[in-house]
């Protein structure tokens, strides 16, 4: 007898936080939450789908509490709050899957070992992703786990976009453009048909602008170019990450400034971007609210780099039919959208100021040759869909075989 699918736990681990969500078998959200301050002062919050608060408390062992301990505590809380609803699958957003994964995968020891080998490409994200997978496997050993890769959507990049001008020995070892934020772009790609045939079948650039930021050129909904490359450091200016730099600068930092590789890594990931430019913070909302001249300068650099990247992506596409803003800054910062669009007027981008200020879905003016949109992304839902498709199919097959 086949059991009905139960709930799906979605986990997204970052360098200092763990976000989670629970979806029903119908893929409707049940609850979501976050463990913030990992390594310093862990704080747990959880909310129902309607936004009402379920929990808000310190998990205050500080730097001494391990990922295993946090997962055990989260698991006990989930079991208490799910009641009689079985946990049928666990889905993970995993930073990088390499070139072999163009879609999600059921996690096996062999796949986990291969993902461990990719840690150097995403040193802040991949280790916590894998630690969470292994910790949850020890708590829920019979629940299938699915990895959904942020790089998979970009496996449609043509060779000239994916390849770096490096010797074959390095290219064969994996030095290439992987691209990131793929789950966000995959979700947005699925939304294009409802925006009209010209958007769905044409030349679209999606700007995923948040504390991590990138842009993707889509032709008929498929990735053909993207700003992030070998690692999540590259491309646009981000909250604390540098974006594109001259490789010679890395040599200078090590050889002339006497920095270790670990010091360089810390500066580029944690002390650069908006934080490094402003000397204040990597939070765009705080910078926009500040009267400090360096805060304004950081915002200007962010918009400049985004607009020049847009021009490059349009060259890859051969033109532009639609521009879409998404993620935290893209969805909620009208001033940033306006600054990027003003610099992109030469591409035919014109916005309606009132629509932009109210975060309307369509913010382009009636006479704009390029349509401009604000579309909220839903990466967790994308992971839930993939997890349900894989895990429930595997479960059904095994039950049929057993019968």
Considering only residues 392 and 267, tell me which one the structure prediction assigns the higher pLDDT. Answer: 267
pLDDT of residue 64: 61
Considering only residues 225 and 68, tell me which one the structure prediction assigns the higher pLDDT. Answer: 225
Alpha-carbon distance 67 to 59, whole Å? 12
82-86, 208-212, 239-243: segment of lowest average pLDDT: 82-86
**Percentage with pLDDT > 70 across the chain:** 94
Reduced to 3 states (helix: H, G, I; strand: E, B; else coil), residue 145 is strand
- Residue 106 Cα distances to 69, 197, 278, 394, angstroms: 24, 34, 43, 9
Alpha-carbon distance 363 to 324, whole Å? 10
User: Would the pLDDT of 160 be above 50?
Assistant: yes
Cβ proximity of 128 and 15 under 8 Å: yes
User: Which two tokens mark 215?
Assistant: 């842009």
For residue range 163-188, list pLDDT tens digits in order: 999 999 999 988 999 999 999 999 99
19-23, 85-89, 373-377: segment of lowest average pLDDT: 85-89
Confidence grade of residue 72 (pLDDT, cut at 50, 70, 90): confident
Question: Residue 154: which residues within 8 A CB-CB, separation 6 or more?
Answer: 177, 178, 179, 180, 182, 185, 216, 223, 226
For residue range 250-300, list pLDDT tens digits in order: 999 999 999 999 999 999 999 999 999 999 999 999 999 999 999 999 999
Cβ proximity of 364 and 351 under 8 Å: yes
* Average pLDDT for 188-210: 97
Cβ proximity of 380 and 369 under 8 Å: no
Q: What average pLDDT is seen over the chain? A: 90
- Residue 51 Cα distances to 29, 54, 270, angstroms: 11, 9, 31
Confidence grade of residue 120 (pLDDT, cut at 50, 70, 90): confident
Would you put residue 231 in left (φ > 0), alpha (ψ -120 to 50) or beta?
A: beta
Considering only residues 39 and 378, tell me which one the structure prediction assigns the higher pLDDT. Answer: 378
Considering only residues 395 and 288, tell me which one the structure prediction assigns the higher pLDDT. Answer: 288
Confidence grade of residue 38 (pLDDT, cut at 50, 70, 90): confident
* Average pLDDT for 108-137: 86
Cβ proximity of 37 and 45 under 8 Å: no
- Residue 208 Cα distances to 105, 215, 315, 329, 391, angstroms: 24, 6, 19, 8, 29
pLDDT of residue 145: 94
Cβ proximity of 179 and 230 under 8 Å: no
Confidence grade of residue 395 (pLDDT, cut at 50, 70, 90): low
**Which strands, in side-by-side order, build the sheet including 322-326?**
222-226, 213-219, 203-209, 322-326, 371-374
User: Would the pLDDT of 350 be above 60?
Assistant: yes
Q: What is the pTM of this model?
A: 0.90
pLDDT of residue 15: 67
User: Would the pLDDT of 3 be above 80?
Assistant: no
Query: Known catalytic residues?
Result: 150
Alpha-carbon distance 65 to 84, whole Å? 30
Alpha-carbon distance 199 to 203, whole Å? 7
pLDDT of residue 399: 42
Considering only residues 26 and 323, tell me which one the structure prediction assigns the higher pLDDT. Answer: 323
pLDDT of residue 99: 79
Cβ-in-10-Å burial (0-12, 13-18, 19+) of 293 comes to: exposed
């Amino acid at each position: 007898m086949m059991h009905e699918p139960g709930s799906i736990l979605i986990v997204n681990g970052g360098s200092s936080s763990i976000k989670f969500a629970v979806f029903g078998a119908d893929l409707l959200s049940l609850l979501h939450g976050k463990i913030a301050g990992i390594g310093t002062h862990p704080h747990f919050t959880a909310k129902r789908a309607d936004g009402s608060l379920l929990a808000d408390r310190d998990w205050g062992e500080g730097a001494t509490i391990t990922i295993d301990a946090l997962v055990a505590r989260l698991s006990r809380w989930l079991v208490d709050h799910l009641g009689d609803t079985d946990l049928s699958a666990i889905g993970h957003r995993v930073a990088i899957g390499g070139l072999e994964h163009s879609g999600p995968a059921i996690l096996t020891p062999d796949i986990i070992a291969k993902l461990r080998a990719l840690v150097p490409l995403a040193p802040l994200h991949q280790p916590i992703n894998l630690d969470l997978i292994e910790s949850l496997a020890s708590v829920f050993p019979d629940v299938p786990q699915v990895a959904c890769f942020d790089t998979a959507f970009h496996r449609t990049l043509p060779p000239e976009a994916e390849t770096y001008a490096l010797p074959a020995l390095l290219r064969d070892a994996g030095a290439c453009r992987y691209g990131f934020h793929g789950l966000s772009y995959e979700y947005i790609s699925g939304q294009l048909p409802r925006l009209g045939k010209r958007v769905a079948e044409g030349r679209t650039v999606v700007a995923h602008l948040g504390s991590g930021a990138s842009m993707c050129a889509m032709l008929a909904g498929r990735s053909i170019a993207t700003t992030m490359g070998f690692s999540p450091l590259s491309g646009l200016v981000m909250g604390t990450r540098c974006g594109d730099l001259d490789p010679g600068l890395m040599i200078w930092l090590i050889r002339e400034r006497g920095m270790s590789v670990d010091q360089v890594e810390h500066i580029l990931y944690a002390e650069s971007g908006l934080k490094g430019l402003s000397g204040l913070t990597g939070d765009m909302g705080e910078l926009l609210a500040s009267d400090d001249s360096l805060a304004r300068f950081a915002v200007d650099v962010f918009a400049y780099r985004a607009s020049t990247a847009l021009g490059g992506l349009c060259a890859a596409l051969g033109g532009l039919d639609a521009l879409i803003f998404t993620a935290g800054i893209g969805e909620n910062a009208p001033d940033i959208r306006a600054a990027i669009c003003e610099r992109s007027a030469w591409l035919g981008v014109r916005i309606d100021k009132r629509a932009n200020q109210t975060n309307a879905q369509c913010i382009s003016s009636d006479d704009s040759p390029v349509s401009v949109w604000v579309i909220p992304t839903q990466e967790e839902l994308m992971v839930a869909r993939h997890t349900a498709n894989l895990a429930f199919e595997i479960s059904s097959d095994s039950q049929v075989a057993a019968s």
